[in-house]
Amino acid sequence: MPLYILGLLLDIVCVIHIMRTGAERFWIYVVMLLPGAGPVAYFVAEILPSLLQTRTSRAMARNARNTLDRGRGVRQRLAALDMADTTENRRLLAEEYLALGQFDEAIPLYEACLIGIHADDPTLLLGYARACFAKGEAQPALDALDHLKSANPDFDSADGHLLYAKCLEGVGRLAEALDEYRALAVYAPGEEPRCRLALLLQQGGEIDAARSVFAEILARAKRATRHYRTTEREWIEIARRLGPAG
């Protein structure tokens, strides 16, 4: 059977499955407009998870949907917010906007949440700080994190600690940022804190100290798994470029 006929039959089967199962109609356009790739994507996102019913398959489905339809999460959260205007629904919508880089939409939502009994909520304050920093507004982000620390002294988050250090650096409080990066380098996962420490040391003229940190990053990368090297590629490449051999 010619391949184009096989492909056409596959498209038809997928469209029938979409109609019968009530899957989102945008899949019809994906299947018809992306010969070969469209049916494969539909299989991975919609059919395979129902066959396997595992956490991995559900994650594959979510990633496939988000790649093909970046606004899907926002539409779902907007619909939920329309049904129930709650702080939780506003937060979830803000997170969707933040993930898409739509900071001007995320920030007002966080601000609307941070009132009354939720004014000191650490999750909301951290989300708001992330959105402000990502937009390039380091001072409001730092103010939110200082508020978080004051209102929630027992709150512990390596990601929040790293963001705090980056905010300090962003507002020019470099000595304090350096102290925070040093503390992060001891316990925080990933190479970003160590790489930022080395970069700030280098900026301050401590070249040998910076190279020593870069060398540690490269040594750790050699011992690490392939997955770790892939996820930390950005920071490992910086260390390789600026480290002892750079």
Give the pLDDT confidence of 45-74 residue by residue, as tens digits: 766 655 555 545 555 555 555 555 567 788
Please provide the size of the chain in residues: 246
pLDDT, mean over the chain: 86
In which band, very low, low, confident or very high, does the pLDDT at 148 lie, cut at 50, 70 and 90? very high
Contact status, residue 178 vs residue 187, Cβ threshold 8 Å: no
Pick 245 or 204 by higher pLDDT. Answer: 204
Q: State the alpha helices, DSSP H only, in the chain.
A: 3-21, 26-33, 37-42, 48-52, 55-68, 72-83, 87-99, 103-113, 122-135, 138-151, 158-170, 174-187, 192-203, 207-223, 226-231, 233-242
Pick 92 or 15 by higher pLDDT. Answer: 92
Task: Report, as an integer, the average pLDDT of 155-181.
Answer: 97
Contact status, residue 124 vs residue 114, Cβ threshold 8 Å: yes
Least Cα distance to 95 among 62, 120, 127 occurs for 127
pLDDT of residue 12: 79
pLDDT of residue 202: 95
Burial grade of 246 (CB within 10 A; 0-12, 13-18, 19 or more): exposed
User: Is the predicted pLDDT of residue 92 greater than 80, yes or no?
Assistant: yes
Pick 50 or 221 by higher pLDDT. Answer: 221
pLDDT of residue 211: 95
pLDDT of residue 58: 52
User: Is the predicted pLDDT of residue 42 greater than 90, yes or no?
Assistant: no
pLDDT of residue 246: 45
User: Is the predicted pLDDT of residue 124 greater than 70, yes or no?
Assistant: yes
CATH of 71-155, one of 3.90.420.10, 1.20.120.1810, 3.50.50.60, 1.25.40.10: 1.25.40.10
Task: Report, as an integer, the average pLDDT of 31-40.
Answer: 75
Task: Report, as an integer, the average pLDDT of 222-237.
Answer: 92
